[in-house]
């Protein structure tokens, strides 16, 4: 754009800091690094001590079941065992759920029940 005298108009602002949105990045992207570090640290901690991960997920299971009025202890124990299998053996959520139900039905094999925790 130009003014009537043919000179261009300066469009930059006089700011002491650069815009958080400059270059197409969003304001919250600056928080992704620290949040990712916390999440990775928590994941590593639960993998080092899987019983703690199981206890935390068991507590979450009890809290959720209390909110909906289901069998609190049963759901809490299922959630704790699922969390333990995820953190101790590195299983996916669906595999851990399947093996938890197989354990409850009594058809989970001895080798799977007595499997040592991986390091």
Q: What is the pLDDT of residues 67-102, one digit of tens each?
A: 777 677 777 888 888 888 888 888 898 998 998 888
Tell me the residue range of the domain where 89 lies: 49-113
The CA distances from residue 28 to 25, 34, 37, 38, in Å, are: 9, 11, 15, 16
Asked if the structure places residue 36 within a domain, the reply is no
pTM as predicted = 0.51
Q: Tell me, yes or no, whether 94 lies in a domain.
A: yes
Q: Which two tokens stand for residue 12?
A: 């930059």
Q: What is the pLDDT of residue 101?
A: 87
Which tokens hold the place of 5?
């005298």
Number of independent structural domains in the chain: 1
| 2 part of a folded domain | no
């Amino acid at each position: 754009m130009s003014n009537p005298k043919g000179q261009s108009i300066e469009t930059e602002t006089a700011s002491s800091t650069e815009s958080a949105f400059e270059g197409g990045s969003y304001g919250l992207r600056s928080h992704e690094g620290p949040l990712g570090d916390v999440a990775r640290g928590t994941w590593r901690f639960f993998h080092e001590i899987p019983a703690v991960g199981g206890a935390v997920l068991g507590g979450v299971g009890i809290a959720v079941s209390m909110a909906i009025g289901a069998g609190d202890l049963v759901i809490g124990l299922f959630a704790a065992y699922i969390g333990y299998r995820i953190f101790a053996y590195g299983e996916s959520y669906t595999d851990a759920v399947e093996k938890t139900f197989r354990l409850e039905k009594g058809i989970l094999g001895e080798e799977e029940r007595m499997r040592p925790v991986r390091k």
